[in-house]
Structure 1
Amino acid sequence: MSSSRFKKDKEIIADYETQVKEIRNQLVEQFKCLEQQSESRIQLLQDLQEFFRRKAEIEIEYSRSLDKLSERFSSKIRSSREHQQFKKDQHLLSSVNCWYLVLNQTRRESRDHATLSDIYTNNVIVRLAQITEDVIRLFKKSKDIGIQMHEELVKVTNELYTVMKTYHMYHTESISAESKLKDAEKQEEKQFSKSGDLNVNLLRHEDRQPRRSTVRKIEKMKEKRQAKYSENKLKCTKARNDYLLNLAATNAVVAKYYIHDVSDMIDCCDLGYHASLARTFRTYLSAEYNLETSRHEGLDVIENAVDNLDSRSDKHKLMDMHNQVFCPPMRFDYLPHMGDEVCQVSAQQPVQTELLMRYHQLQSRLATLKIENEEVRKTLDATMQTLQDMLTVEDFDVSDAFQHSRSTESIKSVASESYMGKVNVAKRRFNQQETEMFYLSKFKEYLNGSNLIIKLQAKHDLLKLTLGEGERAECGTTRPPTLPPKPQKMRKLRPRSVYNHKLFNCDLETFIKDSGQPIPVVVESCVRYINLYGLQQQGIFRVPGSQVEVNDIKNSFERGEDPLIDDRDEHDINSVAGVLKLYFRGLENSLFPKECFLDFISTIKLESGAERAHHIQQIIVTLPRTIIIVMRYLFAFLNHLSQYSDENMMDPYNLAICFGPTLMPIPDSQDPVSCQANVNEVIKTVIIHNEVIFPSQRELDGPIYEKCMTGEEFCDSPHSEPGALDEVDNGTEQHTSDEAKMTKKRRCRRG
């Protein structure tokens, strides 16, 4: 029995020692893991330093190459004829302006990449070196703390081993004392059983004395063994208590170490590593994002210049620059021969009949020619539309070439099979040239026909006037002559001088005074149409519309029509937006006067948007009342449009990029590249703070922009004032019935 118990005790001790040994092995491996992590971090940081060192070299090399490239072409164009003309009158053709801006953008990118190289060298690499030093130092300190914690664990496990051994020893002695006590109790029971079997009365006196002596000895031996057992049991109980207490303490310490202390020790090794590395990478991201922002700002200027590529404007600039060459000559005057005073066609007899016959022949001939020429014009327009579609096809999107998930081979195959493939380009090129030849032939035919019509029409009109007056003179009556019905007149183009001073390309203040329109009809109509159908249009004012449709809408306004009056979404929103931009771009005096340009730009020095708005407001109140009303109307609309930026992607900054060059052109004496960003900030501030900058309707009477617009008088809008939907002043009557009100209401867009 004792040998089996001894063997079991040895097994328990062996299991404990194995467990302690495994813990110690774990502690050693923990240090190895932390050391490997520290080494891998150091290697990572060294690789990053080497990467950014090499990237800085590439960036500065690229910067120098860009600078050389821009300088090469800049020096070339300084001697060009276009540049000399630009120096003379500070007025570039739109195509030449794009070229200038591309060179400016190249110089800008050169400076930005040089700055990027400097940031990598003097900031990012230095930060990475500091993080490397921190990793080495923190690992060393954390390891010292870890060694101390390991020694504490070993101490605790050793103490547990000692109290466990003591407990086992006292428990063994207690079991031995209990066994001896049980033997004594058995002897006592045995003695009592023998005594019970004898008849006490039969015992002799001499036998009774020895038996009493034996019983007393057994009782004394039992008492001793009882005392020894009690003493050993108490010692065992105390030893077991100490063992259990130490066991709980040891388990708690071990659990705390593995659950909390190890994690805290790793945190000590990580102290500041991730935060410092994050700051370093954010420095890299900030540099790269600012590079992209600067690049996009420059590209936005170029994009705006591309949007402003306008053949009509360039044509006018060319004609203005060479005004003497393109100015119409004086009319030919009638030169009478030798004092002949008659300067009119004579319709008296006997030539009246001949003139009347000639008139009818001209009328018939004109009707035929106009029908034929109208058919040619329709063919010409259709051909022009086809050619326009060929020339404006959106084959400039190269997004597929930048799909990083594809391999190089797949990109090449996509490029070769795409719309830009060589076969497709050659085919489209051939079709374009063929269409051009057909268009030119029809254009020539149309010009010849229209010239003939003009000549015959002039003779026809003069004969009509002559015959009418001749017949009245001959008959002595005011009754007009009986003439064939007049064919439909050809559409006449306004003279250029009238065009420039009518609606487009006019002086806004003069137009408002002459027309009596506080808001030009083209502005009001375009804003209303966009409000109804285009608030969610993605890229509005940034994506160009159809030039043909822009011209059609513009020409309709010039004729006194409003092509956007119908409540039907039948026009391209981008084309309508293009007309609005075209109107403001063509004003003789820009909406923001050039003489106030430096005053507006000076507000950018103020950091607070509210302070900027206050100073801009002080400048704007000095402008003419009519201009302030138009500005208030326009910027209230732009602010409303920016509220849909989640859908249309046009926040105040993007709208400012589109409208900055249009509303606030840079004076010729200023550098366009350096000023454009400031112009955009001014326009953005006005869009955001328009309610603060412009006077209210109570302060300045005039039209104001309403978020809820409709073709009818009313709309169910959450922004409508109380009672606005309940009463209508229709002449002298008020319709108050629910049915009348409901028929007047129209559903509007959200405000």
Structure 2
Amino acid sequence: MAAHGKLRRERGLQAEYETQVKEMRWQLSEQLRCLELQGELRRELLQELAEFMRRRAEVELEYSRGLEKLAERFSSRGGRLGSSREHQSFRKEPSLLSPLHCWAVLLQHTRQQSRESAALSEVLAGPLAQRLSHIAEDVGRLVKKSRDLEQQLQDELLEVVSELQTAKKTYQAYHMESVNAEAKLREAERQEEKRAGRSVPTTTAGATEAGPLRKSSLKKGGRLVEKRQAKFMEHKLKCTKARNEYLLSLASVNAAVSNYYLHDVLDLMDCCDTGFHLALGQVLRSYTAAESRTQASQVQGLGSLEEAVEALDPPGDKAKVLEVHATVFCPPLRFDYHPHDGDEVAEICVEMELRDEILPRAQNIQSRLDRQTIETEEVNKTLKATLQALLEVVASDDGDVLDSFQTSPSTESLKSTSSDPGSRQAGRRRGQQQETETFYLTKLQEYLSGRSILAKLQAKHEKLQEALQRGDKEEQEVSWTQYTQRKFQKSRHPRPSSQYNQRLFGGDMEKFIQSSGQPVPLVVESCIRFINLNGEDPLVEGCTAHDLDSVAGVLKLYFRSLEPPLFPPDLFGELLASSGTPSWRAWGRTMSQSWKPRCPHRRMTWRGSWRLWPALPTRAAQPRS
């Protein structure tokens, strides 16, 4: 029955692990799907905007009627943005994402438009629509590459999780072998005890006849016990190594999972958004500039659209997406340590047999950690510089359109933007942007990979350092205990018995004085003399402030431990009242008169100890603090 119960528990733990891994796989697949949905949403949004620009250019000549129809068409139909349930939820509340909010403000501004010029029609149908198409291509390319990179990171994460399962199975197998070897050892020891019990001779004749046979049997039993003892120690050492590997793998997996969910996913989302908000803002700013220079009546509507453009917030959009898909992007539960069949050890063991193996490993991990930290920091610096350069290239792509509006409001200047030299320059910028983008993705991959390795190395390093510190502390405690025991045994001498029958510390001062015949207890006199000599101890060469404090502490301890106390409780009021006496001598006379009829022996002790302080009379005239 116990074996069946143990089997059911192991199956339950295995089922729990498989469920956890299955849940993680589902989350990872949903993350890929969410990234694809966000990329599709952006591409569809850009296609909607590009189509809007072209149709807007066509209806510009039809004035207010055409503009009103256009606005109603895009407002009433679902469009490409309504192709999925997630898109519908964002579309119902466009303020959730800043690009959708810009789109809603743009439609509202279109309803306010009544007339446009031919120059604005050329701008809308030409550079702005083309720029939106380029942005859509950039978004699709970035999303595809980011998805491939995330798929690679997920495969590495699942591989680490699979290695954790392998380490767990190895640990369980070695632990089972250790348990079986221990059981065999115990059985051999019991058999040896039985043989030893039977070998007791009953008679001298019986011992003479069966002696050699029993001795041979006992020797065989002893060899069997030694053999099984060696086998048990071998399996126990293997079990300890397997458990250490399992714990290290467990820490590494938890660190990798946490790093992926808390850092890598967010960086990949940032990668998907790279340049999108900036480029979209540049297009919309170009549109607002064209509108403002075409008709002054559009100022109010353009102000609203400008506010929406300024509200483009990549971190805010990322936070909103994470909030909507919280179940997909939240980190899973940490992998817990599952001991096998009663194994109570839940930490890395640094035994004497393993210390020579673990210490070089910890040093190797430390060196790798330092090297990896430096490499990751350098890659991160390069990554930030590359991202800044990429954003500058993206921002410079719309400069020609804005410059053409700033030089002249006529349509002739607008036609020059589509000339051959301008097209060649735009082509060069496009090539430069793609090269910078490829280099940025390469560095991002290196940085994410290095940070994942760094997190795993850091987790292993912390575990090993904790284990080594714990082992050093245990060794120091054992060594110090042995040292103090030896020192105590060597230096311990019989202490002479007291010559007085009254306790010095914690006793009655009057009884001690009567018993010893000393007017002032010797401990009080010695301490006061030592303190009065400013730390000059006649018994020990050299004296420090620590020695002086120790002597003062002994004196204070003696007075505090007196029973009854030095000052009787009924003198407490008089003691407080006499604190206002102008001089030390007057205070001494007052206290002497109060003590004299009540406790004469303690009064004599106090007067005797008072005479031992030669420095106090010189301070009698000084004010008391």
- Normalised to the residue count of structure 2, the TM-score between the two structures is 0.37
Q: Name the larger-Rg structure.
A: 1
